[in-house]
Amino acid sequence: QVQLVESGGGLVQPGGSLRLSCTASGSIFSFYGMGWYRQAPGKQRELVATITSGGSTNYADSVKGRFTISRDNAKNSVYLQMNSLKPEDTAVYYCNSARAIWGWGQGTQVTVSP
């Protein structure tokens, strides 16, 4: 079973930036497309960005042009660079495979507030 550990969240002002990291256990990471998800209070978890094993990316319209997903297969890691943050980006952020086939990690809290 793959275990996922997210980090890098925090409190940031609107317009600020954060870089999230996710490290996966196991040796199968490089074969899978990966995704970043988020869940805001009272809302369902949503997929915000994906990256294939080959490095192709896709983004939800709400974050397109502001967020960048990347991966380092040698480190079993996936990253989310978040720029121009808005209050509506406030959520707990999670990583998982692009089809969310693994158990969820603890997530990392991102709070965007003046």
Give the model confidence (pLDDT) of 34-47 as tens digits: 999 999 999 999 99
Residues written for the chain: 114
Q: Given this model, what pLDDT does residue 29 score?
A: 84
104 residue type, one letter: W
> Rounded to a whole number, what is the distance in angstroms from the first to the last CA of the chain?
40
Cα–Cα distances in angstroms (integers) from residue 15 to residues 84, 86, 87, 93, in the given order: 4, 6, 9, 18
Q: Nearest CA to 54 among 30, 22, 76, 78?
A: 30
Q: Given this model, what pLDDT does residue 59 score?
A: 98
Q: Nearest CA to 80 among 7, 11, 15?
A: 7
Residue numbers in the chain where pLDDT is lower than 70: none
Q: Given this model, what pLDDT does residue 53 score?
A: 93
Question: What is d(CA 53, CA 15) in angstroms, rounded to the nearest whole number?
Answer: 31
Q: Given this model, what pLDDT does residue 62 score?
A: 97
Q: Given this model, what pLDDT does residue 95 score?
A: 97
Q: Given this model, what pLDDT does residue 86 score?
A: 98
